[in-house]
Amino acid sequence: MAEPARVGLLRRLLRNRAALAGLAVIAAYVALAVGAPWLAAYDPSQNNLALRLHPPSLRHLLGNDELGRDILSRLVWGARTSLAISLGAVAFAAAVGVPLGLAAGYYGGRLDGLISGAVEVLMAFPGILLALAVVAIFGFGVFRLILAIGVYSVPTMAWLARGSTLDVAHMEYVEASRAMGGRNRRIMLRHVLPNILTPIIVQGTLRLATAVLTAATLSFLGLGVQPPEPEWGAMIASSVAYIRVAPHATVIPGIALMLVVLGFNVAGDGLSESLDPATSRLG
């Protein structure tokens, strides 16, 4: 049963040109992040004041920043930082949110009331506020940023896992394993979890876009990755003072950021359309 469904999904995905373009952008982004040590031509932290704010040239394809550092090399290393933060944040959100949602949906009753209540309170506020509160409490830096953005996505993940579990919990195969005396924990892990993974993966892809964007925003505000560590939002922040004389230093990291977010958004949309053609948007 599962095999033809998966082949169909792949075929639908391959026919969706926008989704393919999104996946290509994501692949390039991951390749940059993974291959940073080999792909970057220069040391991302090496200052060269002779080349301060130089526009793009043949030796420095994307120009140099306010300390003469090679922007392309910083961009490549920055991809690594941003991918690590966003993957870490989404993994954290899934690791906390999915078990909470699973337990709430499976057990129901007072446990569900408690978890759903907390999630609803958190979902009433934009995530950036939660992220700011975490940053205000714990301070700045890569790991705190992962925590801040992860906390941001926990309510969404928990809500989704709860909803999907409710759909699955009354399926015959779940009832059957319960009737055969299966233990709750085993049923949840063996029968419920594998069947709610698909929407969670789609949501995870879309959350990666939000995570990349939030990480860059917080770093831009000075509340995330701290200089001289190469990070796209921080790169934009440090170049703002020179926006009049060297706009390329501000514009280029922003284009990279936008392309990646666009890639995740388009791929996430395509993935959810291919998984469930009935919900595909008009046109």
Partner 1 sequence: MAPVVLVVVTLVFLMLHLIPGDPAQLMLDPSATQQEVAALRHQLGLDQPLGRQYAAFLGRLLRGSMGTSFKTGRSALADAWPSFQHTVELAAASVVFAGLAGIGLGVLAGARSRSPVSALVMVLALLGVSVPTFWLGLLLIIVFALKLDLLPAGGAGSWQALVLPTITLGSFSLGVIARITRAGVAEVMHADYVRTARAKGASERAVVLRHALRNALIPVITITSLSFGYALGGAVATETVFAWPGLGRHIVDAILARDYPAVQASLLLFAISFLIVNLLMDLAYALANPRITYG
Q: Whole-number minimum distance, CB 131 to partner 1, in Å?
A: 10
Contact predicate 66/249, CB 8 Å: yes
Residue from 72, 266, 267, 275 in contact with partner 1 (CB under 8 A): 266
CB-wise, 2 or 124, nearer to partner 1? 124
**x/- map, 11-50, partner 1, by CB under 8 A:** ----------------------------------------
CB-wise, 93 or 209, nearer to partner 1? 209
Closest residue by Cα to residue 127 from 162, 76, 173, 90: 90
Stretch that binds partner 1, among 9-17, 31-39, 86-94, 245-253 (CB under 8 A): 245-253
CA 182 from chain center: how many Å? 36
Q: For the chain, how long is the longest CA-to-CA vector?
A: 76
Residue from 57, 184, 258, 276 in contact with partner 1 (CB under 8 A): 258
Instruction: Kindly identify the residues of this chain, within the stretch 133-152, that bind partner 1 according to CB under 8 A.
Output: 133, 135-138
Q: Whole-number minimum distance, CB 10 to partner 1, in Å?
A: 24
Q: Is 114 in the site for partner 1 (CB under 8 A)?
A: no
Separation CA 135–CA 207 (nearest Å)? 19
> What residue type is assigned to position 139 of the chain?
G
Beta strands in 117-204 (DSSP E): none
Contact predicate 158/119, CB 8 Å: yes
Separation CA 101–CA 165 (nearest Å)? 8
Q: Which two tokens stand for residue 193?
A: 């979890």
The residues, ordered by sequence, that sit 6+ positions from 30 with a Cβ below 8 Å of its Cβ are 83
Residue from 61, 121, 176, 241 in contact with partner 1 (CB under 8 A): 121
Closest residue by Cα to residue 277 from 4, 8, 1, 2: 8
CB-wise, 203 or 250, nearer to partner 1? 250
> What residue type is assigned to position 58 of the chain?
L
Instruction: Kindly identify the residues of this chain, within the stretch 163-222, that bind partner 1 according to CB under 8 A.
Output: 209, 213, 216-217, 220-222
Q: How many residues of this chain bind partner 1 (CB under 8 A)?
A: 39
Q: Which DSSP string do the residues of 186-233 spell out, in sequence order? A: HHIIIIIHHHHHHHHHHHHHHHHHHHHHHHHHHHHTTSSSPTTS--HH
CB-wise, 32 or 192, nearer to partner 1? 32
Separation CA 44–CA 31 (nearest Å)? 17
Q: Whole-number minimum distance, CB 254 to partner 1, in Å?
A: 4
CB-wise, 115 or 261, nearer to partner 1? 261
Residue from 68, 99, 199, 254 in contact with partner 1 (CB under 8 A): 254
CB-wise, 202 or 261, nearer to partner 1? 261
Separation CA 200–CA 163 (nearest Å)? 11
Q: Is 96 in the site for partner 1 (CB under 8 A)?
A: no
> Applying CB under 8 A, which residues contact partner 1?
121, 124-129, 132-133, 135-138, 209, 213, 216-217, 220-223, 233, 236, 240, 243-244, 247, 250-251, 254, 257-258, 261-262, 265-266, 281-283
